Amino acid sequence: MRLGRIASPDGVAFVSIEGKVGEPGAMIAREIAEHPFGTPTFTGRTWQLADVRLLAPMLASKVICVGKNYAAHVAEMGDIAPADPVIFLKPNTAIIGPNVPIRLPANASPVHFEGELAVVISRPCKDVPAARAAESILGYTIGNDVTARDQQQADGQWTRAKGHDTFCPVGPWIVTDIDPADLELRTEVNGEVKQRSRTSMMLHDVGAIIEWVSAVMTLLPGDLILTGTPDGVGPIEDGDTVSITVEGIGTLTNPVVRKGGS
């Protein structure tokens, strides 16, 4: 199932998205009653996907990110691969949906894209063993851990660099029936491939990440976990377009503007 959130003439709604990806005119959004957790029920209202606007697919209470989770990315940053997951938080105010502009702060350069597989939590959970992680997962989507690299280096920690408004594009929807173990991840800037890897290259897989994170903090329905980025990260500039594709999910695309631009 593909779960999403839309803005329509009738308001904001959680929906199930049906039809062939890549053919918006043939895709239908079916309104879900109340929320998408558990077994969704439907109101009977539907829209053509082409006639509504996709929003970020989930309202997260928090966004947990994993750093240094692909060896090749660790190497390109001149660092050492960690024995355990390295985690940090983004504020939920950084979340934007598909096609919403990433706004570059005037005082930040360079700002980098970081394409990632994202996990969506389905229920309140704490101290989840890796072997049972799937029981707490609603599904998977795509995230972009946008980072002001100069601020990250200047501050010695990552909150400001990764916490700006619009620095967490997510979408286009959540896929509930996919195995995350070995999916291709590809990032393009203006149509040029910048990142290409597979989730099988992660140092810590999804189960290990959820076990580690849930040992620290309670996870709530809708919480997002970004699982790390592969090598190939690089700058984005005013006027660029960033597209991240994860096999079996789809493509998340966002334009880039400098603050004060259109």
**In terms of domains, do 137 and 96 share one?**
yes
**In terms of domains, do 186 and 67 share one?**
yes
CA distance 161 to 85: 20
pLDDT of residue 78: 87
CA distance 105 to 91: 16
CA distance 247 to 138: 18
Q: Is the pLDDT confidence value at 83 over 90?
A: yes
Q: What is the CATH number of the domain that holds 7?
A: 2.30.30.370
Q: Is the pLDDT confidence value at 24 over 70?
A: no
**In terms of domains, do 204 and 88 share one?**
yes
**Residue 162 in 3-state DSSP?**
helix
Report the domain count for the chain: 2
pLDDT digits (tens, 9 = 90+) for 173-227: 999 999 999 999 999 999 999 999 999 999 999 999 999 999 999 999 999 999 9
Residue 110 amino acid letter? P
Average pLDDT over residues 108-112: 97
pLDDT of residue 32: 97
> Which range marks the domain in which residue 8 is found?
2-55
Q: Which helix (H) or strand (E) holds 7?
A: strand 2-8
Q: What is the CATH number of the domain that holds 163?
A: 3.90.850.10
CA distance 172 to 124: 24
- Could you report how far apart the first and last alpha carbons of the chain are, in Å? 35
Q: What percent of the chain has pLDDT over 90?
A: 90
CA distance 28 to 19: 6
pLDDT of residue 260: 67
- Cβ contacts of 132 within 8 Å, gap of 6 or more: none
CA distance 236 to 119: 25
CA distance 84 to 166: 29
**In terms of domains, do 30 and 83 share one?**
no
Mark which of 31, 55, 79 sits at the end of a domain.
55
